[in-house]
Amino acid sequence: MSAALPLTLLDYGVGNIHSIQKAFEKAGAAVSVETEPARLLAARALVLPGVGAFGKVAAQIAPFRAELRARLEGGLPAFAVCIGMQVLYDSSEEGPGEGLGVFPGRVRRLRHARLPHIGWNSVRHDSRGAFEGVPQDAHFYFVHSYAPSECAEPCTATADYGGRFAAAAARAAVWAVQFHPEKSSDAGATVLRNFVAYARGRA
C-alpha cells in the first residue's frame, strides 16, 4: 500500500473545511490544516478549499500572494475547490482584491435567473488528469453564484447554468474544480484519488 501523501490544507478562517479534509484522507492523504504562511509555502502538496467569498480569501492570502504564486507556478502540486479555484484567477466580480493570477481571466456572476446554483450538474471534461476514469457527463455537486467564464485553456471541463462556465482548469501542477468533489459521490472521490496519485508521484 502506498504511503499517505503529506497534504497541507489552507484554512481561510471563514468556513467549515472538515468535509474536504476527511475526503482527502479517505483518498490517501495525510492532511494538516495550516494558517501560517511559512508552513503553507513549505508544503509538499497544497489544497485551497471551497469555502468563503473572493474578497475575504484574497485578503487572507494577500500578505504572501507573490510567494504562493511563485510556488504554484514552480510546480507545487495543488488542488483548488470552488472559491479556491476562483482565487487562482486574476480577479472576480464578486468582490475586491487580487487573485493569484495563476490562471488568466476574471470570475463572473453566473447568467441564470436563479442563484446560487445549488445541486447536481453534468460536466463535460477532457478525460485526463483529474477526470481519468470519470464517465463523460458525470454529475458533480455545485454550490456557487460565480465561476470562471473562460472556457479555453487552461479549462479542462465545462458545465452549463445559464451559459457555459469553466468547471475545472489545470496548469503546471495546479488542478482546480468549481464543483465540490467531497459532496460528489463516486465521481468526486475518483477526482480526489487522481490528484493524490499525481501529487504523490511529484512530491
Catalytic positions, written as ranges: 82, 180, 182
Instruction: Phi first, then psi: give them for residue 71, nearest 5 degrees.
Output: -65, -40
Residue that the C-alpha cell 452549463 belongs to: 160
Residues 6+ apart with CB under 8 A from 146: 54, 86, 92, 93, 94, 107, 108, 109, 110
Q: For residue 76, count other CB atoms closer than 10 A to its CB.
A: 22
Residues 6+ apart with CB under 8 A from 3: 200
Instruction: Phi first, then psi: give them for residue 73, nearest 5 degrees.
Output: -70, -20
